[in-house]
Amino acid sequence: MIKKTLATFICGALFVSNVAAQTKSNDPYESFNRSMYDFNNNVDAYFAAPIANGYKFVTPQFVQTGVFNFFNNLKGINVVLNDLLQAKLPQSASDLGRFTVNSTVGLGGFIDVAKQLGLEQNDEDFDQTLAVWGVPQGAYLVLPLVGPMTMRSAPASAFDTAANPASYASIPAYYISAPIQFMSAVNARANAEGALKFINEAAMDKYIFTRESFLQWRKNLENDGKVSASLEDDLMADEKTTFLKWRDYSKQFEITSQSFSSVAQKFDLAVQNYVQANSKIEQLKQKHF
């Protein structure tokens, strides 16, 4: 009897330490992610930021707002699709109305007429749909030129891209597609300026700050902006309660990791290439800046 209790205890202890090691972070690919983060930062500092700042400098505010509205409106179709996939029917009607009004009266989306009519924009994408369907969030990933993602949102973004007309601009001709894709990227970077400045000011470790705020932001979108009081208790709770929650998270994490493990292996291989690319940028930097 004593032996059995002892064995159970040891097994339990092993399990605890195993879980503790696994759940220490939701970021098992941290070293890969950190190199990607540095790579993206370099690309941003030497290519994206100067272009976006130039755009902000020479373009009047009303044109910037128009460009933002145009690309923002194109996301509307995807929002409606995901509203339907999540069975949010009244919201899908409102979002469809929003898209229709802006595409017609709003001159192809350049003017956000729907906002003035009181049709608030909802933020839905396929990653949130997968969350509603019960797919766990999975590990954190930073992809080259794309930025923060999770094991779930990376494949989900393929759906979102497919449901965005801006992605098909390449069909008519490259001289139309290239400027549209380029403007889309410049617009995205110009709008991120405020957030990036805040990270620079507030973060003690920019990588961790970005990761944590990204994961929390995604969780918050999943919950449609509702802050759960019980999650707040977790932060303050003693180790024991937190451990029980962690055990659930860790199980979810394991399931997702397994389902996307082949993708992860490819990423692991890709690391080398990007680390090399990064060091080349470093060399360029030293030569030219």
Partner 1 sequence: MQFKKLAIVTFLLSSLFTSSVFAQEEVATARQIVDNFQTELVQVMKEGKKLGYNGRYDKLEPAVSNSHDLPKIARIVVGKEWEKLSEEQQKKLTDVFSKLSIASYAHNFKEFGGESFEIDSEEETKMGGVVIHSHLTIPDDKPVKFDYMLKEKGASWRIINIIANGVSDLALKRSEYTAILQRDGFDSLITKINEKIDNYAKQ
Task: Give me the residues that bind partner 1 (CB under 8 A), please.
Answer: 201-205, 208-209, 211-213, 216-217, 219-221, 223, 225, 227, 229-230, 232-233, 235-237, 239
User: 122: closest CA among 225, 35, 219?
Assistant: 225
Closer Cβ to partner 1, 98 or 260, answer by number: 98
Closer Cβ to partner 1, 134 or 225, answer by number: 225
CB of 85 to partner 1, least distance (A): 22
CB of 5 to partner 1, least distance (A): 28
The Cα 70–Cα 273 span in angstroms is 35
CB of 221 to partner 1, least distance (A): 8
CB of 228 to partner 1, least distance (A): 9
Q: Do residues 66 and 183 touch, judged by C-beta distance below 8 A?
A: no
Task: Please give the span between the terminal C-alpha atoms of the chain, in angstroms, as a whole number.
Answer: 73
Question: Kindly report the CA angle at 123 between 120 and 128, in degrees rounded to 5?
Answer: 150
161: left (phi over 0), alpha (psi -120 to 50) or beta: alpha
The Cα 164–Cα 182 span in angstroms is 15
Closer Cβ to partner 1, 173 or 227, answer by number: 227
Q: Do residues 78 and 160 touch, judged by C-beta distance below 8 A?
A: yes
Closer Cβ to partner 1, 174 or 198, answer by number: 198
Per the listing, tokens 């001159």 go with: 107
CB of 142 to partner 1, least distance (A): 15
Rounded to the nearest 10°, the torsion over CA 103, 106, 111, 114 is -90
Closer Cβ to partner 1, 241 or 272, answer by number: 241
Closer Cβ to partner 1, 77 or 221, answer by number: 221
CB of 9 to partner 1, least distance (A): 22
The Cα 143–Cα 121 span in angstroms is 27
Dihedral sign, Cα of residue 60, residue 104, residue 71, residue 186? negative
Per the listing, tokens 């394991």 go with: 254
Closer Cβ to partner 1, 89 or 202, answer by number: 202
CB of 3 to partner 1, least distance (A): 32
CB of 52 to partner 1, least distance (A): 20
Q: Do residues 248 and 10 touch, judged by C-beta distance below 8 A?
A: no
Closer Cβ to partner 1, 24 or 280, answer by number: 24
DSSP 148: E
The Cα 217–Cα 206 span in angstroms is 16
